Amino acid sequence: MAEEISSENPERLEALQSPNHEVAKISSSVNELMKKMSKYQEEIHIQNQELTIQKQQLERLARVGELASRLTHNLRTPLTVIKSTTDLLKLTAKDSLDEASLERLDRIKSASENLEKQIEEVLTYVKNKPLDLKNISFKDLINETLKNIDVPNKIQIVRSDDDETIQCDPDKIQVVLMNIISNGIDALEKEGKIYLKISKNNHENIIEIQDDGPGIPSENLEKIFDSLFTTKSSGTGLGLPYCKSVIEQHGGSISVSTKPTTFTIILPKEVISKKIENN
C-alpha cells in the first residue's frame, strides 16, 4: 500500500484497490483523501487563473490611469477657454444674436461642462491620497454634499431624522455620496424620490441611499463596481469604482440591491488612521 501511494502521480490521482478487508478500509480513506486533494488542486488552479487575470487588469488600469491623468490635464485649459469664450459671446453679443445662435452657445457650454465633469471623474479616480479623517455628523455631510448637486424641481430628497457622527474623510465621502445621488437622479429621469438614511450597530455606521426609479437590470448588478463599465453614453465608468475604492480605504464596504435600487455603505465607527480631527 505504501509503495502504491508513494508511486501515485499527484497530477493524476487514481483510486487504490485491494482484496484485503483491512487494507481496503485504509484504501478507502486514502482514496477519499486523494479526491479531496484533487479538488483542492482544481480550486488552486482556478484561483491562480483569477489572480493572473486580476494582475493583468491592474497593470492595464495603471497604464490607463497614467495616460488618462496626462490627457485630462492637457484638456482642462482648452475647455476653460471654450467656456469663458462662450460666456463672453453671450454677454457681449446677446442683443445681436438670434435665439438659435444663443441656443447653440448654450449647447457648447453644456458639452464643455460635461467634458469637464468626466475629466474630474478620471482625475479623482487616479488620485489615491491618504485619508484625512474627521468626525462629522451625517446631516452636515449630506448638507455639504447637496450643495454641489443640481437637484431638479420634481425630484425630492427625503432625509431621515436620525443622525450619527461619522469618522471619515469628508471630502472623499462627499464625492461618493455625490456619485450615488447623481446616479439616482439620472435613473429617475427628472421625477421621483431619493431616500437617505443612517443607522448603526455596535461597531459600524450604515448609510442607505435608495431611489424609486426602475431599478438596475440584474445582469448589470455584478458589474457596476467594475472599472470602465458604464451604461451611460457620456459616462467614464469610473464613478462607482472610485466609490468602492474610497469605502474600502476606510475599512468599510459598499453593496447594491435592486427594485428598489438601494446602495448600502457600511463604515466602521473607528477608522485606523493617525490624522483625526473634530469638525
Q: Which grid cell is 9? A: 502521480
> In terms of residues, how long is the chain?
279
Inter-residue contact 27 to 53 (CB < 8 Å): no
Q: In the prediction, which pLDDT does 268 show?
A: 92
Q: Classify each residue of 110-122 as buried b or exposed e, where b means 16 or more C-beta atoms within 10 Å of its C-beta.
A: eebeebbebbebb
Question: What is the chain's pLDDT, residue by residue, as a tens digit (279 residues)?
Answer: 566 555 555 544 455 555 656 666 676 776 777 778 778 888 888 888 888 877 776 676 666 666 666 676 677 778 888 888 888 888 887 778 888 888 888 888 877 877 777 677 666 666 667 888 889 999 999 998 888 888 888 899 999 888 999 999 988 898 899 889 988 888 887 789 999 999 988 889 999 999 988 888 777 777 888 766 666 655 666 778 888 888 988 999 999 988 889 999 999 988 765 444 444
Domain 133-278 has CATH 3.40.50.150: no
What are the extents of the domains in the chain? Answer: 1-127, 133-278
Q: In the prediction, which pLDDT does 236 show?
A: 61
The C-alpha atoms of residue 170 and residue 167 are separated, in whole angstroms, by 8
Q: In the prediction, which pLDDT does 17 show?
A: 57
The C-alpha atoms of residue 165 and residue 205 are separated, in whole angstroms, by 9
- Please give the model's pTM, rounded to 2 decimal places: 0.59
Tell me the residue type at 110.
S
